[in-house]
Amino acid sequence: TVGCVAVDAAGNLAAATSTGGLVNKMPGRIGDTPLVGAGTYANALCAVSATGVGEEIIRRTAARDVAALVEHRGLPLRDAAARVVAGAPRGSVGLVAVSRGGEVCMARNTTAMFRACATEAGHDEVCIW
Amino acid sequence: MGWALALHGGAGDVPRTLPPELREPRLATLRRSLDLGAAALREGRPALDVVELVVRELEDCPHFNAGRGSVLAADGTVEMDAAVMEGATLRCGAVSGLSTVANPVSLARLVMERTPHVYLAFAGAEAFARDQGVETKDPSHFITEHNIERLRQAKEANRVQVDYTQPMNGQATQQAQTPADDNSQTG
């Protein structure tokens, strides 16, 4: 699964995700990616794209849960993402997120996630583990 | 605070011994996609354009599980899903079950922008793609030798696999397939 989240210089947020799903999935199976709030979500505060075991991400509405913790509990994006990921079974969820303020977060409970991020302030990172 | 972006190419159990021939192309695509997105943001392009641009680049890379390089369903076909969402307006679009659309993320955006709906799937989504004139490919375009082999291994082990699942032996497979409790299929 691939995905991207971004906040532009005007503070607009967006998220996008795309996937082939799971190897050997049943034909007709739909994963988390296209279900609004499960694998992809954006509002005026943050944008989130998830990857991992789709069924677990759907059960937890993971992307929307991150946004809801920011919106309703006032958690920093990093804490909200960590909480959602920690609540999922080990090895099942990874996500990337950005906030309107330009905070970047890449959280996972898997051993690895192919990921990258950059900010206007000059932070730049590409990594796997 | 300025612009920012983050992207992913899937998560899972990736061994640290991943051979360079599998690691380097993926890292190169992540770098290229990141630079593409950062340049677009630097030029003042809106976040919605940037996430579509970056995901299209990732979809075009056969080493990631989306677009060309999508993993195979049990019947050996690809069924691709994609979604896009704009934060300020809560507008969103999604597609499922695509087998011919070169860049599903762009079709998801067209669902968002040109229909009164949020989500189109399978035959309806394919018909919409043709109606919109988006680029399509023969279904074989999306299937790689690597993913044919992965499907063969998964069928042999009788399980489904997330993006970077490592091969398991028969005993471990049986354990993994056994529900831990009555709630294991909740949802």
Instruction: Going residue by residue through chain A, which has 129 residues, state the pLDDT in tens, using 9 for 90 and above.
Output: 999 999 999 999 999 999 999 999 999 999 999 999 999 999 999 999 999 999 999 999 999 999 999 999 999 999 999 999 999 999 999 999 999 999 999 999 999 999 999 999 999 999 999
Q: Please, are residues B57 and B69 in contact by the beta-carbon 8 Å criterion?
A: no
User: What percent of chain B clears pLDDT 90, i.e. is strictly above it?
Assistant: 79
Annotate A15-34 with b (16+ C-beta within 10 A) or e (fewer). Answer: bbbbbbbbbbbeeebbbbbb
**Min CA distance, A73 vs chain B (Å)?**
19
- For B142-163, what is the mean pLDDT? 88
- For B104-111, what is the mean pLDDT? 98
Q: How far is CA B183 from the centre of its chain?
A: 28
Dump pLDDT digits (tens) for A70-81.
999 999 999 999
Q: Please report the DSSP string for B123-158 in residue order.
A: HHHHHHHHHHT--B--GGGG--HHHHHHHHHHHHHT
How much is the ipTM here? 0.97
How much is the pLDDT for B178? 36
How much is the pLDDT for B159? 78
How much is the pLDDT for B172? 42
Can you list the alpha helix ranges (DSSP code H) found in chain A? Answer: 54-59, 62-73, 77-86
Q: How far is CA B1 from the centre of its chain?
A: 30
Can you list the alpha helix ranges (DSSP code H) found in B43-178? Answer: 47-59, 104-114, 122-132, 145-157, 170-177
Chain B residues in contact with A14 (beta carbon < 8 A): 46-48, 50-51, 84-87
Whether B45 has a pLDDT exceeding 80, the answer reads: yes
How much is the pLDDT for B163? 73
Structure tokens at A26: 């049943």
Name the residue in chain A with its Cα closest to that of B8: A115
3-state SS assignment for residue A129: coil
- Pairwise CB contact (< 8 Å): B82 & A128: no
